[in-house]
Amino acid sequence: MTKRVVLAYSGGVDTTACIPYLRHEMGADFIVAMAADLGQGDELEPIRQKALDAGADVSVVVDAKERFVTEFGFPAVRANALYDGQYPLSSALGRPLIGELLVETAHAYECDAVAHGCTGKGNDQVRLDLTVALLDSSLEIMAPAREWSFSRSETIAYSEKYGIEPHVTKEKPWAIDLNILGRNVEAGLIEDLTWEPTEEVWSLTTAPEAAPDAPVHVTVGFRSGTPVSVDGEQLAPLDLLARLNTLAGAHGYGRIDMLENRVVGVKSRELYEAPGMLLLIRAHQELENLTLPADVLNQKRPLEAVYSKAVYDGLWHGPLLAALNAFVGATQTTVTGEITLKLYKGGVSVAARTAERSLYRHELVTYGSDCTFDQSSAEGFIDIFSLPGRVWNKVNG
């Protein structure tokens, strides 16, 4: 029986070495390399060719940018998803999509296995494996980099043995993962918790101290919780996010330096730049504050943390997220309106809020003479509201 495998391919040293490794050490007869374009900005035709040069039988590139933003990025905004309260899951959200694409490609090329180049220490292997297991449990999962114990130079030597030119660019003192939702930098120098990142670590954001001296206002429009416009101009999802990444990044907004609790039990230090996603979430939270009643907000906020953890853990296709998405979806029908944010030297503040279905009623809250709030009901309300406490005190002294 021939073994047909589709490999998630990035063009990097490790996934390239996976191609001969799958064939010569793991028994693959037919290898499809699949590169997903999630907006990482790489030129993909050379990457497609590189997989063929390394021995893949077929090499495909899938443009999944729009799908990434609409099916993953914007739902995460509706959920205000921030893992550990900070990280907008830019890398994490990419993996269930890559997993979906692996399964779709496996079906298209009649493969019986999928493969990836993740090591055994990170979150990404968990997310990819879980996604494939939940979408098509009949597919075998092959992870060469979890099996080999190559050092960097051994990986290169192994590739060279099979005629693969290493193409090693000058090695950076850290590892980068980039897509349209954000950029992650980890490992190397960043592992030293006392090392303060130097400017060369960052690439999507200007240093706050070097950002323009004049603030900028930006108005984000939402329809039922989904971002639809910037400064009154309707934009396609991808353009909208790209526009906000550039604008907010230029004002030094969107940097995160955090300690992160990985699925595999270790703490790691991670740097992120996600100006557009963080801006969208900030605006969306504010629009919810204006359009959702307090009791709904009080239930939704803690569930957002549950949602974020489930995404982080790779459970995108599991029943918990399906249930949470149903809840989030039910809360979003009235979340339509515009929020203006002011960006200034790395900071953001809310400058204006408008919504057709605003629950902020001026006539109820104003101290002016036109107030319709009936103060005469307050005394009786407080009497009953204080009743349980008064009973408690009477019984317990």
| Nearer residue to ligand ARG within complex by CB, 92 or 139 | 92
| H or E element, residue 159 | helix 152-161
Instruction: Tell the smallest beta-carbon distance from residue 326 to ligand ARG (Å).
Output: 25
Instruction: Tell the smallest beta-carbon distance from residue 202 to ligand ARG (Å).
Output: 16
Instruction: Tell the smallest beta-carbon distance from residue 224 to ligand ARG (Å).
Output: 28
How far is Cα 332 from Cα 71, in angstroms, rounded to an integer? 16
Burial of 327 (0-12, 13-18, 19+ CB in 10 A): middle
Residues in the annotated binding site for L-aspartate? 119, 123-124
If you ran DSSP here, which 8-state letter would residue 71 be given?
I
Give me the sheet containing 255-261, strands edge to edge.
175-179, 182-186, 267-273, 255-261
Pairing of strands 175-179, 255-261: unpaired
Residues in the annotated binding site for L-citrulline? 87, 123, 127, 260, 272
In total, the chain counts a number of residues equal to: 397
Contact 180, 241 (CB under 8 A): yes
| Nearer residue to ligand ARG within complex by CB, 9 or 222 | 9
| Nearer residue to ligand ARG within complex by CB, 221 or 254 | 254
DSSP 84-98: TTTB--TTTTHHHHH
| Nearer residue to ligand ARG within complex by CB, 124 or 288 | 124
Residues in the annotated binding site for ATP? 8-16, 36, 117
| Nearer residue to ligand ARG within complex by CB, 10 or 59 | 10
Residues in the annotated binding site? 8-16, 36, 87, 117, 119, 123-124, 127, 260, 272
Strand intervals (E) in the chain: 4-8, 30-37, 58-63, 113-115, 140-142, 175-179, 182-186, 216-223, 226-230, 233-234, 255-261, 267-273, 337-344, 347-354
How far is Cα 38 from Cα 64, in angstroms, rounded to an integer? 6
| Nearer residue to ligand ARG within complex by CB, 3 or 146 | 146
| Per-residue buried b or exposed e for 132-170, using 16+ beta carbons within 10 Å of the residue's own CB | bebbeeebebbbbbbebebeeeebbebbeeeebeeeeee
Dihedral through CA 321, CA 322, CA 327, CA 329, nearest 10? 110
Instruction: Tell the smallest beta-carbon distance from residue 172 to ligand ARG (Å).
Output: 12
Binding residues for ligand ARG (CB under 6 A): 91-92, 123-124, 175, 177, 184, 186, 260, 270
Instruction: Tell the smallest beta-carbon distance from residue 123 to ligand ARG (Å).
Output: 4
| Nearer residue to ligand ARG within complex by CB, 129 or 260 | 260
